[in-house]
Amino acid sequence: MYYGRQAGWIEVICGVMFSGKSEELIRRVRRAIIARQRVQVFKSHLDARYAGLYSVSSHDGAELEAIPIDTAEEILRHLHTDVAMVAIDEVQFLDDAVIDVVTELAGRGIRVAVAGTDTDFRGDPFGAMGHLMAIAEQVTKLQAICVRCGDLACRNQRLIDGRPARYDSPTIMVGGAGELRSSLPPLPRGAARRRGPDSTLVATRSWKHLIMLNVALTGNVAAGKSIVARLFENWGATLIDSDVIVRQLQQPGTDVLGLMVSAFGPDILQDDGTLDRAALRHRVMKDEAARQSLNSIVHPAVLARRQDLEAEARARGDAILVSDIPLLFEAADPAVFDVIVLVDAPAATRKARLVENRGLEAVEADRLLAAQDPTEAKREHSDYVIDNDGTPAQLELAARAVWQALAARAG
């Protein structure tokens, strides 16, 4: 780009975390110093790893003195008249003005070497790196080792509290030594995780090694949620059915059933020792305190089991996990899921289904409907809503459209 008797140029060192970018930048600076060239080194003030704010440091402990800056234009203010080389580390943290600054420096006949992470944990170009790579005379792309498969790594993944960050979590957060982890997969796109500040980045060869779309499927009673759950499972989802978990936890001899008998008495059992669900329903539907007591026994056990099954799905590398959770908004934490799918139907339709299909009395059906929050607010807080007030074919068609959207997000 800039040639003449005193040629300047731009060279970019890029790659994922732990690929040796700072180490390579330090190597080039030291060679210039050996050649008796005047070198100035700059770094973003956001990076204070290892040796502190006033040094460029690599993960292996190598370091150089550096000037910390908040904006790219500060480079020009600190520049010496006789400088032959300018080195900038962690350039992805600087503002877009760095593009004009390095272009101007090269135009003055100065060799400019910058190092930075080329893509963020989403896989998008990080800061000005994409533009810098396009205008550079020389680009060196380094790779790390994937923490899962041991192959060459070309992506970063942020972990928050030991779990992968959501797509719209903050872009900038500098990691540190000893933070690579090989068994913790990342979450895909979705709303920001609402827990914990502990964050780091890991390197991975491909998103598909690690990403699992974590979907919550919910809906008020008799909305048709279970039908949609089975459709999703048939189309390739891994399904965690909370109702199945509840039945497993309430088998004779289980701790959960023992606590229920202690709380509500032996009348909730049938002669063979199994749970009499109709008797239990009659008991708790008439007594709010009893219903809350039942929830305090059952819900923690269901959550623990669901988390175990989720961990197993992640370890297998499953692409889409669908958790069928009737009381997602009432008793669970919607924020831990990437996507929320709501199956809904008018209250009158759901009441008719309870009476006609499940044999409930109208009064009992009303109590069951009233035990769950209204769907209006749930619709507002769901990513997808499947209305089920038509034919089974119409329900399947609507579910298929949502499934295709989920599959596209899972990539």
Residues known to be catalytic? 90
Q: Which residues of 47-85 are buried (b: 16+ CB within 10 A; e: fewer)?
A: bbbbbeeebbbbbeebbbebbbbeebebbeeebeeebbb
Element (H, E) at 16: none
- Is residue 335 within 8 A of residue 341, CB to CB? The reply is no
- Is residue 101 within 8 A of residue 75, CB to CB? The reply is yes
Task: List the beta strands (DSSP E) in 194-265.
Answer: 199-204, 213-218, 238-241
Amino acid at 94: L
Radius of gyration for the chain, computed over Cα atoms and rounded to the nearest angstrom: 29
Alpha-carbon span 283 to 301, nearest angstrom: 21
Q: Which of 52, 60, 53, 2 is nearest to 27 (CA)?
A: 60
How many other C-beta atoms are found inside a 10 Å radius of the C-beta of residue 100?
13
Alpha-carbon span 190 to 340, nearest angstrom: 10
Q: Which of 240, 408, 396 is nearest to 321 (CA)?
A: 240
H-only helix segments in 72-187 = 73-78, 97-107, 129-135
∠ CA 104-11-35, nearest 5°, is: 95
Alpha-carbon span 37 to 27, nearest angstrom: 14
Alpha-carbon span 403 to 232, nearest angstrom: 7
